Chains A and B, each alone.
Chain A
């Protein structure tokens, strides 16, 4: 089945620094990647949709300049948390939709637990 590889799995950074999270589709081409954020014991909140070769679409309330998304190729989407602060500490996870007509669900990366100190 489809596999999305997400790195790093855990990262601790200092306040004010930037962190890049990568998601790679290993055995398929992902023209679209969804980025979610999940706080402890809460649901997954959609942050943005990255589209290969075009600008990302952000959900209401998500700061574009803080969460930079790049989808430079059909197999790589990145999320950069810029000037991170402790309130950005969360579980970030990417997801690729299934191919057209497929009967399986969305494929998720293993997630990145970001801790900003």
Chain B
């Protein structure tokens, strides 16, 4: 079945440092979504990428979708303590409406 892997599993940074998480799917995706889950909370939608090679920005967050539509990345510039949480990519493949989550990257930010 479809697998979506993320690296790293865990990242600890000093406040102000940059952070990147990478997402790789075993199959081509129709689109990819990114979610943030705070400790004890539920996933919250961040963004959706649809086009091959697409790049989108949300303030300090930059999202990319690979040319082959099998990988994606999330980059955070100058992290803040409010960025703490687990970042998941999630893919939808083919005609299915199912959302398959990546393994996630837990970000810890030290003030």
Residues B97 and A105 in contact, CB atoms below 8 Å apart = no
Residues of B bordering A, CB below 8 Å:
1, 33, 35, 41-48, 88, 90, 97-104, 106
Query: A67 at interface (Cβ–Cβ under 8 A)?
Result: no
Residues A108 and B42 in contact, CB atoms below 8 Å apart = yes
Say which one of A13-21, A43-51, A74-82 lies at the interface with B. Answer: A43-51
* Given contacts A49-B98, A105-B33, A41 and B106 within 8 Å (CB-CB): yes
Residues A106 and B88 in contact, CB atoms below 8 Å apart = no
Q: How far is the CB of A32 from chain B (nearest CB, A)?
A: 6
Residues on B with C-beta less than 8 A from A104 are 45, 48
Within 8 A of B (CB), among A17-56: 32, 34, 36, 41-46, 49
Query: A114 at interface (Cβ–Cβ under 8 A)?
Result: no
* Given contacts A60-B1, A110-B42, A105 and B98 within 8 Å (CB-CB): no
Q: How far is the CB of A100 from chain B (nearest CB, A)?
A: 10
Residues A109 and B45 in contact, CB atoms below 8 Å apart = no
Residues A43 and B101 in contact, CB atoms below 8 Å apart = yes
7 pairs of A and B residues whose beta carbons are closest in the complex: A105-B45, A108-B42, A44-B101, A43-B101, A43-B104, A111-B42, A43-B103
